[in-house]
Amino acid sequence: MMTSRSSHRGFVLILTLVLIVIASVTLAAVARRSMATALNAQCHQDDLQRHWGTLSLTAAILPHAEQILKTAEQDLDQPVAHVNIQCLLGDMAFELTLADEQAKANVNTLLATRSRRSVYDNVRQLATDSDTALPPEVRSLAIFDAGKHDKKIQSFGELFETCSTASLHAAAAQLTCWGNGKLHWHRTPPLVLREVLEPLADHTAIQQLIDLRQMDVVPNVNEAIAGLEDVNKSSRQALTRLLTETSGCHSLWITMTDKHRQWDHLAVLETAHDRQPGGKTAQWHFEW
């Protein structure tokens, strides 16, 4: 009889231990699942805040890009092609670069006016930055097929192979594939002017255009072109079509970084200067 009771108590003890183990495993699984759910919810919340922060900054800044650039020019008393802005929304830090796309070399304009190999070399030259280890690799297929199929390049993804964000950001400082192709004479960097204008005028004439921007009384672009020496009529007409003193295409590059990763968002807004109320604008968004 005592043996039977001992066996019974032993069985109850074992069963109790098994139940405790099952309960512990179940609670651990529930805890892990709850933690995963909480982390997932936090990630979705962060993504939502980042998304709305990006949209809010784009809507608040990009339509007023030209006014912001002109204000910066008045403050600095010199042409300004881009403005860097740091912004804090809640606990999220955003770094913004607002730029005039018409102060950059337009790849589609280059493709329309010179050989594909020449454009390939131009793009590689303009995409190189001294602070970047390696320039983005140009997609030769995109460059050479663009003319063959008469297809306009509409994003950097069609122009560059996979590269670092730093390399792409460096390339975007002097290259664009948006806008009407005209260059803002006052804001365009000398290197971009030389690369784009070289087939239309010699080095001396281009340097004259660059030097005229530094005069105490700067002439308008048409007067500057008319005053160039040893430039024929057709070249003057081509320069007049290519250079402008107004801009209707701007971009906003937004970078947001947290402890784990970095997000980049590029928005481009193109607006005609003579646009009437209710007229059309074109806008592009890219995010990675």
Phi/psi at 81 (5° precision) = -95, -20
Mapping DSSP to helix (H, G, I), strand (E, B) and coil, where does residue 176 land? strand
Cβ within 8 Å of residue 116, ≥6 positions away: 143, 144, 146, 147
User: What's the pLDDT tens digit per position in 126-156?
Assistant: 887 645 545 667 776 666 665 555 678 888 8
Torsion sign across C-alpha atoms 269, 271, 276, 280: negative
Whether 56 is covered by a domain: the verdict is: no
Nearest alpha-carbon partner for 236 in 225, 244, 252, 246: 225
Contact call for residues 102 and 182 (beta carbons, < 8 A): yes
Domain range for 165 is: 64-287
User: What's the pLDDT tens digit per position in 157-184?
Assistant: 888 876 778 888 888 999 999 999 999 9
Average pLDDT, integer, range 250-258: 91
Q: Provide the pLDDT for residue 40.
A: 65
pLDDT over threshold 70, residue 276: no
Whether 7 is covered by a domain: the verdict is: no
Q: Strand 243-244 vs strand 183-184: parallel, antiparallel, or unpaired?
A: parallel
Looking at the 3D structure of the chain, how many domains does it have? 1
User: What's the pLDDT tens digit per position in 230-239?
Assistant: 888 888 999 9
pLDDT over threshold 50, residue 256: yes
92 — pLDDT class (breaks 50, 70, 90): confident
Whether 25 is covered by a domain: the verdict is: no
Whether 47 is covered by a domain: the verdict is: no
Whether 23 is covered by a domain: the verdict is: no
Report which secondary-structure segment, H or E, holds 101.
none
State pTM to two decimals. Answer: 0.80
Whether 100 is covered by a domain: the verdict is: yes
Whether 266 is covered by a domain: the verdict is: yes
CA distance 98 to 80: 10
Angle at the Cα of 72 from the Cα atoms of 103 and 57, rounded to 5 degrees: 80
CA distances from 184 to 74, 189, 220, 241, 256 (A): 17, 10, 12, 11, 30
Strands of the sheet containing 249-257, edge to edge, are 82-89, 92-100, 249-257, 262-271, 281-287
Whether 88 is covered by a domain: the verdict is: yes
CA distance 159 to 145: 11
